[in-house]
Amino acid sequence: MDIKLTTMTNFDYTLTSPLSAVEKNSRPLLGLTIAWHPDPARVGEQFIGTTDAGLIEVSRFIPSFKTPTGEALPLGHSGISRDPIRIVRDLSDGITICPPNIRMVVEINGEEVKAPTFLSAAQIEAGTILGLGRAVYICLHWMRCLPKDNPVDGFIGVGSHAIQTRDLIRLASGNDHVVLLLGETGTGKEVAAQGIHKLSKRAGLKMISVNMAALNESLAAADLFGATRGAYTGAQSSRDGFFGEAQNSTLFLDEIGNTPAVVQPMLLRVLESGEYRPLGASRDARSTARLITATDQDLYDESFNHALLRRLESFIIRIAPLRARREDIGLLILNMLKDKTNAAIEPSKLPASLISEILNYEWPGNIRQLHHVLSRAALSMQMGEQPKLADYVERPKMTVTDSAALRQIRTTVKDFDATVTTRAPGQPERKKLKDLTEQDVIDAMEQHGWTIQYAADALGISRPSMYKLIENNSQIRRVEQIPPEEIRTQLNATDASIEQCASRLKTPSEALRRHLKGLGLIA
């Protein structure tokens, strides 16, 4: 396979490029979004490549990242090498990431890489997390529109899904069509509904929200359409119902798929004629409410009224799951930390290992699950504990090798020449804890910079279990037992590289870093 590279300047990739939109059916733009940065203000800034095959170099000084309204700046962080990582896009939209021969740790989806690594177009579609020096994380993803400043209160994100969804919310707010919001649980359907209402001419009145799944089937008609006094047993007075409460405003019917069968024809009548009859009333009432509905269910089965469904389909907005919006996770974290319950936690205090895990997780519960996990992590940190994603979720994080039917291909690229050879890696079977040898532990620590959490992840065990294995390993030394002079010698020999020094001393890098600070050898 021939790879033809196009030399491009930074200007070609700026957000001020004359390219204003991606033509329909054309190849997507390659987006590089800062998913996390020690300076939280940089999270969400982007560098947008073209639709062509070519080369992008990423280092401390190039390229420049920005928001649609902000200043263009390089990554700048001192932990990022001056020698660039080369990102090569081929004619089939495959991406090869070529790390330079440097000390800086380079990770792809949480796994350290030292050789050129090929990623398919599908892997980029799923969002690939490039970690630099365990400090800065960049999401590589496809963009099908240019970055755009189109804010909608509460609906956060900088990727194509977020931008296009906000455009649809704004479009829906300008008319009174029935809106059907489709998306998995926890994706933010109610936030989208609120956005439509707040941008509409009805914003001066309160939006009325109803969970259809919580309605009592025998009283659902009265709850929705109201009832006169004595209309049913226990009706001591007349009531307006939700349609009456939402007059001239917006009525949001969440979980519309759970609507009791008895009231589905009644809803259809309201949508067709605008009229409904409260229980026990002698005449019809007229609704002036604007209807927005939402569901995470498949409405196209026999249990849901198909005539009603056709009416609900007037304006459909599909909300993407969080795993399809990986570039937005960092911004969502920052927004959640503004919540008063998490106010005691500064973004810069979140451990890099936790950020990497969060960015690489699949999030079956979407944004709602992320919020719950972050709240629990914040509480753990307030108690002085080191938060780990595995303590809060049931499934392991996504990796390059096991994520959703995607597979990693190792690639040898010589000077980006015409010949590329590939091989599928043999993924080693993870051993049980009792079967792990001392050398298995040493190898895992060596491969992951002598960082306990990363080595534990590679072995598929918990951090406490890893501590036990380290404590019982005859080759691993406690840093307190190593003579200070030996530490000084190895630190000088490795040019103050903590990871290399830890490797030579065979001691965990976190403990070594703390010990070096105590000895006054590093700041």
Of residues 127 and 417, the one with the higher pLDDT is: 127
Residue-range domains of the chain with CATH:
10-148+325-420 (2.60.200.20), 160-318 (3.40.50.300), 429-519 (no CATH)
Residue 70 has pLDDT above 80, yes or no: yes
Determine how many CB atoms are found less than 10 A away from the CB of residue 368: 15
Predicted local confidence at residue 229, as pLDDT:
77
Of the pLDDT bands very low, low, confident and very high (cuts 50, 70, 90), residue 5 is very low
**Confidence band, pLDDT 50/70/90 cuts, at residue 24:** low
34: amino acid identity, one letter: I
Torsion of CA 75, 76, 78, 81, to 10 degrees: 60
Question: 70-84, 157-171, 217-231: which range is least confident on average?
Answer: 217-231
User: H or E segment at 470?
Assistant: helix 463-471
Burial of 462 (0-12, 13-18, 19+ CB in 10 A): middle
Whose CA is closest to 178, among 254, 265, 291? 291
Radius of gyration, alpha carbons of the chain = 28
Supply the DSSP string of 90-128, one letter for each residue. Answer: -TTS-EEEE--SSSS-EEETTEE--S-EEE-HHHHHT-E
Backbone angles phi, psi at 467, to 5 degrees: -60, -40
- Percent of the chain past pLDDT 90, that is, above it, reads 59
Residue 402 pLDDT > 50, yes or no?
Answer: no
What mean pLDDT is predicted for residues 181-204? 97
Instruction: Find where tokens 């994520």 sit.
Output: 403
* Other C-beta atoms lying within 10 Å of the C-beta of residue 214: 11
Which pLDDT score, from 0 to 100, does residue 523 have? Answer: 66
Question: Who contacts 419 (Cβ-Cβ below 8 Å, separation ≥6)?
Answer: 1
Q: What's the pLDDT band for 190 if we cut at 50, 70, 90?
A: very high
User: According to the model, what pLDDT value does residue 346 have?
Assistant: 87
Is the Cα dihedral 343, 347, 349, 355 positive or negative? positive
Identify the pLDDT of residue 36.
98
Instruction: Provide the pLDDT for residue 340.
Output: 66
Higher model confidence: residue 429 or residue 413? 429
pLDDT at 424: 35
Which residues touch 518 (CB under 8 Å, ≥6 apart)? none
Distance between CA atoms of residues 169 and 166, nearest Å: 5
> What's residue 352's pLDDT?
92
Cβ atoms of 243 and 270 within 8 Å: the answer is yes
Give the pLDDT of residue 125: 95
Per-residue pLDDT tens for 314-359?
A: 999 999 999 999 999 999 999 999 876 666 678 988 999 999 999 9
DSSP-based three-state secondary structure for 270: helix
pLDDT: is 291 or 452 the higher one? 291
What is the sign of the dihedral through the CA atoms of 68, 332, 353 and 320? negative
Q: Give the β-pairing of 136-143 and 29-36.
A: antiparallel
430 pLDDT more than 60: no
Residue 189 pLDDT grade (very low, low, confident, very high; cuts 50, 70, 90):
very high
Give the sign of the dihedral formed by CA 258, CA 367, CA 210, CA 274: negative
Angle (deg, nearest 10), helices 498-505 and 484-493 = 130
Torsion of CA 69, 75, 77, 81, to 10 degrees: 180
Res 461 pLDDT > 90:
no
SS3 content of the chain, % helix, strand, coil (to 5): 35, 15, 50
State the average pLDDT for the chain.
Answer: 85
Assess contact for 22 and 145: CB atoms under 8 A. Answer: yes
Q: CA separation (Å) from 124 to 25, 31, 324?
A: 17, 10, 10
Predicted confidence (pLDDT) at residue 452 exceeds the cutoff of 60: yes
Query: Mean per-residue pLDDT for 453-474?
Result: 81
More confident residue, 119 or 240: 119
Cis bond leading into 63, ω under 30°? yes
- Joined together, the tokens standing for residue 517 give 């600070």
Q: In terms of Cα–Cα distance, which of 88, 28, 36 is closest to 58?
A: 88
Q: Quickly list DSSP for 127-156.
A: -EEEEETTTEEEEEEEESS------BTTB-
- Looking at the chain, the whole-number percentage of residues with pLDDT higher than 70 is 85
pTM above 0.85? no
Strands, E assignment, 165-262:
179-182, 208-211, 250-254
**Burial class (CB within 10 angstroms; exposed 0-12, middle 13-18, buried 19+) of 71:** exposed
Q: Which of 147, 155, 31, 105 is nearest to 356 (CA)?
A: 105
Q: How big is the chain, counted in residues?
A: 523
